[in-house]
């Protein structure tokens, strides 16, 4: 097939990739069409081991790779081969004079900077060394000259490109080259943004990787779309999920089975995982519309699940489940009895997968935990950014302000309820207890316009006895009526931030009622 103005033949390709997925198969397609393959380092080694003929980049440039690989593609014979316009006689004369060969395709993906920077214990030097220089330069050069050069930054495009090359005898259309160029510029923009944002979060003095608490001077939000969703919160809203490139957290979790995830599933799963991962002990959290309806601890996942479900079995129907341990077969057999939309955990045993297999629509997500990050919320005209709400509280941190002190069991239950309360929409009240030595939510009042209403609603939602429970309040009691409501419901001890101008009045009411009360000095408002 002869080449037209629209179709451009690929005669020489430069391949240099970090992600080797599909590389050999795609390079094989190029070779089958007579394309000369030029490559670097590890990429060349992989291709040769697959039996493909490859020319080293040093043969093209006449200059060896040097400085531990820092300099290999930054050369006029690379960038001249990419940037010269084949239709410009002056450009053609210049490259011929300097013996620069045309390069018609660049297959490049970049050092995994985000993954490296997100690694626990990563060293400063490793972060800096994973800043790719040559790769983005080649992508930009090739993308700028898209009229003559095809640039391939994403392995996901290999299959479609191979099909087009086969259909057009080794040529690609102008529309394809333009589409690839736009993707390449988006790739380099996201990469530079990730570097700038990561370095912005480090101390001003070089060498340390301790994140600062200062918020960035410039907010950069660049993330590739991972997948489109069927719709958003409602069917008339379009939606998609975007990834930060770390392969961590809910956005990057592996879906092991089940229907396509919805927008609401992902929002609820993120809330569920955040709550479950708050605890060091084995915990199961059941979430409905981002609010917990049941949270339980146990020696096993099955025990923790039984306590979480017992707290509110009605609301649990159609919810999502978060587990901070690998789910085993025993726990899975119990969870499979309830209709739930999705379950997220660090892993599932083979027995668990077998127990869930019959529930074809149930979504199972296996994730790698992500570190805490700043929270971003869009408002009209801009964005709000805040640090994650992270402020651990122990028994040593609270201030006992009543005549009666909490018993050891009450104190343990108070700390449990405090962690749960942090994940409930404000105004929030959480009733909880210890059952056989393990924490269990009993009633949760979420998202009420007054704190006394949250106390009443939490008591109304309780499916278990409230007598002898403890109560947590995400913010201070502005009046004694909230404290009196939880005491009337059956709570014997209360944990709250304190700080109201009427603290003395609230403490006096607690003393009259014989309720133990501790103050944390920390508020946990959660407005969504």
| pLDDT 10s digits, 466-488 | 999 999 999 999 999 999 999 99
Place of tokens 């297999």: 357
Q: What local confidence, expressed as pLDDT, does residue 212 receive? A: 61
Q: Are 431 and 311 in contact (CB under 8 A)?
A: no
Strand (E) positions, 209-289? 225-229, 239-242, 254-257, 283-288
> pLDDT tens, 498-521?
999 999 999 999 999 999 999 999
Please determine, for residue 251, whether its predicted confidence score (pLDDT) is greater than 80.
yes
Mean pLDDT of 162-184: 93
The single-letter DSSP state of residue 365 is: E
Catalytically annotated residue among 55, 144, 179, 353: 144
Q: CA-CA distance, 229 to 120, in Å (whole number)?
A: 31
Mean pLDDT of 56-79: 73
Confidence of residue 1 (pLDDT cuts 50, 70, 90): very low
The single-letter DSSP state of residue 327 is: B
Confidence of residue 62 (pLDDT cuts 50, 70, 90): low
Q: What local confidence, expressed as pLDDT, does residue 209 receive? A: 67
Please determine, for residue 3, whether its predicted confidence score (pLDDT) is greater than 70.
no
Which among 138, 124, 116, 179 has a CA at the least distance from the CA of 43?
138
H helix runs in 350-475, sequence order = 350-356, 408-421, 451-461
Query: Which 3-state string (H, E, C) describes 40-75?
Result: CHHHHHHHHHCCCCCEEHHHHHCCCCECCCCECCCC
Q: Number of H helices and number of E strands within the chain?
A: 19, 23
Q: Are 466 and 443 in contact (CB under 8 A)?
A: yes
Q: What local confidence, expressed as pLDDT, does residue 68 receive? A: 66
| Rg of the chain taking only CA atoms, in angstroms | 29
Please give the C-alpha separations between residue 211 and each of 39, 41, 78, 191, 207, in angstroms, as whole numbers: 37, 34, 38, 20, 12
Give backbone dihedrals phi and psi of 255, rounded to 5 degrees, phi first.
Answer: -90, 115
Residue 179 annotated in active site: no
Count other C-beta atoms under 10 Å from residue 238's C-beta. Answer: 10
The torsion region of residue 245 among left (phi > 0), alpha (psi -120 to 50) and beta comes to left
Confidence of residue 123 (pLDDT cuts 50, 70, 90): confident
Mean pLDDT of 326-346: 97
Higher-pLDDT residue of 366 and 73 is: 366
Please determine, for residue 70, whether its predicted confidence score (pLDDT) is greater than 70.
no
Higher-pLDDT residue of 190 and 36 is: 36
Mean pLDDT of the chain: 90
Q: CA-CA distance, 521 to 39, in Å (whole number)?
A: 60
Q: Are 119 and 198 in contact (CB under 8 A)?
A: no
Please determine, for residue 427, whether its predicted confidence score (pLDDT) is greater than 70.
yes
Q: CA-CA distance, 517 to 45, in Å (whole number)?
A: 67
Q: What local confidence, expressed as pLDDT, does residue 205 receive? A: 66
Count other C-beta atoms under 10 Å from residue 499's C-beta. Answer: 13
> pLDDT tens, 95-113?
788 878 889 999 998 877 7
Q: Are 511 and 488 in contact (CB under 8 A)?
A: no
Please give the C-alpha separations between residue 474 and each of 251, 291, 426, 430, 522, in angstroms, as whole numbers: 28, 14, 7, 9, 9
Residue 527 preceded by cis peptide, ω within 30: no
Residue 8 annotated in active site: no
The single-letter DSSP state of residue 475 is: S
Catalytically annotated residue among 55, 226, 259, 289: 289
């Amino acid at each position: 097939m002869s080449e037209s103005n629209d179709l451009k033949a690929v005669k020489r390709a430069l391949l240099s990739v970090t992600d080797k997925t599909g590389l050999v198969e795609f390079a094989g397609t190029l070779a089958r069409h007579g394309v000369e393959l030029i490559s670097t380092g590890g990429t060349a080694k992989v291709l040769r081991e697959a039996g493909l003929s490859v020319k080293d980049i040093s043969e093209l440039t006449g200059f060896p790779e040097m400085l531990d690989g820092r300099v290999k593609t930054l050369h006029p014979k690379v960038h001249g081969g990419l940037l010269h316009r084949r239709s410009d006689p002056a450009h053609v004369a210049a490259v011929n004079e300097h013996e620069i060969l045309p390069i018609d395709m660049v297959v490049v993906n970049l050092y995994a900077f985000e993954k490296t920077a997100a690694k626990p214990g990563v060293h400063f030097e490793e972060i800096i060394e994973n800043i790719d220089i040559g790769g983005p330069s080649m992508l930009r050069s090739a993308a700028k000259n898209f009229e003559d050069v095809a640039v391939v930054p994403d392995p996901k495009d290999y299959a479609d490109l191979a099909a087009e090359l086969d259909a057009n005898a080794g040529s690609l259309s102008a529309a394809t080259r333009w589409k690839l160029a736009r993707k390449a510029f988006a790739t380099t923009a996201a990469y530079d943004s990730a570097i700038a944002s990561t370095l912005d979060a480090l101390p001003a003095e070089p060498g340390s990787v301790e994140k600062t608490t200062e918020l960035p001077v410039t907010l950069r939000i660049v993330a590739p779309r991972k997948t489109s969703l069927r719709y958003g919160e409602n069917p008339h809203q379009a939606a998609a999920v975007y990834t930060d490139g770390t392969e961590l957290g809910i956005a990057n979790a592996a879906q092991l089975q089940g229907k396509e995830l919805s927008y609401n599933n992902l929002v609820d799963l993120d809330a569920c995982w955040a709550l479950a991962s708050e605890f060091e002990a084995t915990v199961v959290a059941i979430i409905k519309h981002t609010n917990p309806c049941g949270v339980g601890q146990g020696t096993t996942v099955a025990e923790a699940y039984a306590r979480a479900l017992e707290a509110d079995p009605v609301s649990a129907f159609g919810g999502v489940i978060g587990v901070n341990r690998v789910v085993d077969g025993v726990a899975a057999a119990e969870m499979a009895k309830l209709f739930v939309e999705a379950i997220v955990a660090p892993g599932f045993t083979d027995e668990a997968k077998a127990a869930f297999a019959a529930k074809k629509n149930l979504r199972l997500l296996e994730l790698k935990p992500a570190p805490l990050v700043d929270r971003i919320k869009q408002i009209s005209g801009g964005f709000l950014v805040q640090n994650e709400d992270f402020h651990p509280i122990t028994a040593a941190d609270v201030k006992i302000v009543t005549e009666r002190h909490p018993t050891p069991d009450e104190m343990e239950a108070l700390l449990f309820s405090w962690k749960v309360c942090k994940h409930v929409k404000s105004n929030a009240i959480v009733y909880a207890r210890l059952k056989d030595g393990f924490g269990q939510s009993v009633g949760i009042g979420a998202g009420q316009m007054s704190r006394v209403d949250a106390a009443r609603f939490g008591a109304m939602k309780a499916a278990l006895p409230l007598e002898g429970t403890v109560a947590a309040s995400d913010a201070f009691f502005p009046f004694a009526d909230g404290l009196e409501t939880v005491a009337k419901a059956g709570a014997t001890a209360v944990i709250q931030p304190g700080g109201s101008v009427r603290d003395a009045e609230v403490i006096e009411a607690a003393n009259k009622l014989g309720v133990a009360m501790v103050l944390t000095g920390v508020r946990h408002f959660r407005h969504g």
